[in-house]
Structure 1
Amino acid sequence: MADREFDIVLWGATGATGRRAADHLARRCGERGLRLAIGGRNREKLEVTRDSLPGKDAVKAILVGDSHDGAFLQTMAARTRVVVSTVGPFALHGSALVAACVGTGTNYCDLTAEPQWMRAMIDLHEDRARETGARIVHSCGHDSVPSDLGVQFLQAAAMTRFGAPCQHVATRVTRMKGAFSGGTAASFVNAMKLRETDPGFEKLSLDPYALCPEGARDGPDGPDRMMPLEVTWDAELRAWTKPYFMGPMNAKVVRRSNAIMGYPYGHDFSYEETALTRGGLSGWAAAMRDTVFGRLFLKAMARPLLREWLQRHVLPKSGEGPSREVRETGSYEIVLVGKARDGDVLLARITGQGDPGVRSTTLMLTEAAICLVEDTEDLPVGGGVWTPASAMGPRLRDRLSEHAGLTFEIVDTWRTSR
């Protein structure tokens, strides 16, 4: 692929998330001497996006087409080494692009947090991607890079300290400051609609091993429930936990990583992901309040009339995103608690700078794309449908630490940075 016209094509460069991705990619491609093209369906908007970029000289072309035009996407994919997609909901607008990348042997990464669509892409394209050499890497943003790479990082430390991986890992979201974009809202709305029309949606959502290969879809973890009315006590962090909205999605990716990497965490590995409040009665009350609110919100979104009202008056619209102030001042922290089979405990902490839903997410996506370009000969896998940890692992983690504002550290004791 070294002789292709572009190194990276960003598809969907005019949405709220796409514009931020274009900004980061233009800057980083300019630094690295990489050839970038941006694409979408509206030339005027693409030109405005390009002209607003501080690193616009890195943008070598504007590509105008439709997400459902297979012939155009095939031609576009054949011109580049990597395609980066921010066009969601991916279940509505992403399938033809994945097929084009698979058919042309082009590496691909995206921001999807839609497990039903990911399962469909795996089933449709895994074998062909292995033949063509296309590396298809889903979920390269805040969902699910910190969780996926975080578990891999903690387990590597456990092997060094304990001589064995941790049997159980609990990821706790301890701080989250930011907002989400209209694209994220649209993906959530589409998922709620699919829940009504697709008879297999609920079964796949509840299945903790739904993204694992056939024959590897069992283990110790129970159903993935998005918002159970459940508040639990974390004895290691001495605080109450509550359901985390994206926990089930991230957990599915972590379990797939373990399976397709050959079970480096063990066949009996279990994983959970929740958010942390604090200790005491006030911590329990805060956790219960947020849990009940989340449950009521989900019930409201499941009713078409209420969902339509929330779309009109509450949720961000397509193309909208958090303000510049929110993007720049946002931050997050997650703590991973690993428990070994003999009872030893290991803690890891990951922090990120910038709004997690847009700024940090697009920084992670940018580094994933560059990793697929610059490290392609040294990656541990060839063609196939992969996760961030299985495809890029420590190489991506190093890039995130250097260029995307993330930190990964092993800690003996945890003190919140809130």
Structure 2
Amino acid sequence: MTEARLDFIIFGATGYTGKYAVKIAAQLAKEKQITFGVSGRRKQALEAVVKEFVSDIEDVPILIADLKDEESLKKMTAQANVLINCCGPYRFYGEPVIKACIATHTHQVDVSGEPQYIESIQLKYNKAAEDAGIYIISACGFDSIPCDLGTIFAQQKFNGEVNSIETYLNMWVTTKVSGALIHYGTYESAVYGMAHSHELRELRSKLYPERLPPLWPKLKPRGAIHKSSVSEGWSMVFPGADRSVILRTQRFLYDKCKQRPAQVQTYFTLKSFFSVLTTIIFGLMFGILSKYEFGRNLLLKYPTFFSGGYVSHEGPKPETLDNVHFSMTFKAEGWTEKLAEPTDKHKDLPNKVMITKVSGIDPAYKATCTMLLLSGVTILKESDKIPVTGGVLTPGAAFSKTSLIEELIKKDIKFEVVSSLEK
């Protein structure tokens, strides 16, 4: 990276997530002494964003770039050390940006929660990113940063060897709110992610042709609906990208750092059984309709109806988001003794349980953009602590040995040990 470059350029700065990213970048610019610019297709709209969120910073360059213009993307990325990509759905708009970043030797972070996109990018571009000496890191927001780095945190605090981790996501509002909680762009990504989920098996067989050694005892999935001692309410399998991201991290740590991989299952919890039934009904409709073009058209045309009022094109109001809280609880089981090799087998059943937690507010936007920008800062300032010199990585693979968790704690995204018990 050359000295003339800006530390960050936020691409897609006029979108819903992009505006939050600009707001967080303005705060970090003063705190971390970083430089940044904004980019998109429309100069007037970009000027409005800068005027609204960074009016007290003298020089915020505005760069015009269009996804349909390869040269404009290269010109943009060539002026950044790290590109903050807020332009999704990434399955439609992400790959041209990746190509430009590789061509101009520019790091890229984004908030994609689309496993098919993320893993196909790793398959297609990992070697090119390695050769270019850059990091391409997706899933740098909620909910994969809390889940992936929360798993890393549990392993680091365990003081032994972790065999399995079960994660439980809870979300709630502290006061009665009206209107949507999710922007349409996030919903659109979920629709197409569900539609293409059938591609993952073949993709993963190409990405990891060699299986991991069998782990004992095997972590068995819990019932479709179950109660847990660590999460109050009714829990179900979490359908998002978390598990796929964590498993890629665990595979990386096994391959590169000779660490025993943890088995993982991810769940989310609802307080009432009525909420569970409602979620199942909407989930079934969503799953069936997303498989067919006419169904996807219906889902995308009537997002508010098919989400039970949680999604809108306008997105949630700031005062609504300030009342949204999340916690993710981790139940780690393993042994007090750590064996010499990751393939060595313990003779006895696990004898230790540790409960940890990650929590915060406004997970979808404020927390997400804080995680995203701090991921970029970590690449700038602590690349020497990333185990490899380039590639397409998960957050956990890239940041497990850095200070990112400590930086997130400073921003009120809390990581804590709740309890630890030896059997």
TM-score higher than 0.5: yes
1:1-43 residue CA offsets vs partner (Å, 9 max, x unmatched):
2413211010000011111111111221133221101001111
Residues 141 and 371, structure 2, Cα contact 8 Å, conserved in 1: yes
1:78 aligns with 2:74: no
1:286 to partner: Cα distance: 4.4
Percent identity between the two aligned chains: 22
How many pairs are equivalent? 391
Alignment-derived partner of residue 169 in structure 2: 173
Q: Please tell me the residue identity of whatever aligns with 1:68.
A: K
| 2:4 counterpart SS class | coil
Alignment of 1:6-405 (within 5 A): 6-54=6-54, 57=57, 59-158=59-158, 160=159, 163-164=160-161, 166-177=162-173, 179-192=181-194, 194-195=195-196, 201-204=197-200, 213-216=208-211, 230-237=224-231, 239-246=233-240, 249-262=241-254, 269-277=262-270, 283-284=272-273, 286-315=275-304, 316=311, 320-340=314-334, 341-354=349-362, 356-393=363-400, 394-403=402-411, 405=412
Residues 243 and 291, structure 1, Cα contact 8 Å, conserved in 2: no
1:311-358 residue CA offsets vs partner (Å, 9 max, x unmatched):
33334465x32111122222101100111152421100110122x212
Q: Distance in 2 between matches of 1:388 and 1:411?
A: 23
| 2:61 counterpart SS class | strand
Alignment-derived partner of residue 198 in structure 1: none
| 1:29 counterpart SS class | helix
Normalization by structure 2: what TM-score? 0.83
Residues 20 and 369, structure 2, Cα contact 8 Å, conserved in 1: yes
| Residues 1:213 and 1:310: Cα distance change in structure 2 (over 3 Å) | closer
1:285 to partner: Cα distance: 5.5
Q: Distance in 2 between matches of 1:409 and 1:142?
A: 17
| Residues 1:287 and 1:123: Cα distance change in structure 2 (over 3 Å) | same
1:250 to partner: Cα distance: 0.7
When structure 1 is superposed on structure 2, of 362-371 and 57-66 the one drifting more is 57-66
Q: Please tell me the residue identity of whatever aligns with 1:276.
A: T
| Residues 1:132 and 1:255: Cα distance change in structure 2 (over 3 Å) | same
1:406 aligns with 2:413: yes
| 2:82 counterpart SS class | strand
Q: Distance in 2 between matches of 1:265 and 1:352?
A: 32
What are the ranges of 5 or more consecutive residues in structure 1 without an aligned counterpart?
Answer: 196-200
Q: Please tell me the residue identity of whatever aligns with 1:363.
A: T
| Residues 1:288 and 1:242: Cα distance change in structure 2 (over 3 Å) | farther
Q: Distance in 1 between matches of 2:375 and 2:10?
A: 12
1:88 to partner: Cα distance: 0.4
Q: Please tell me the residue identity of whatever aligns with 1:180.
A: I
C-alpha RMSD over aligned residues: 2.9
Q: Please tell me the residue identity of whatever aligns with 2:270.
A: T
Q: Distance in 2 between matches of 1:188 and 1:115?
A: 10
Q: Distance in 2 between matches of 1:167 and 1:230?
A: 22
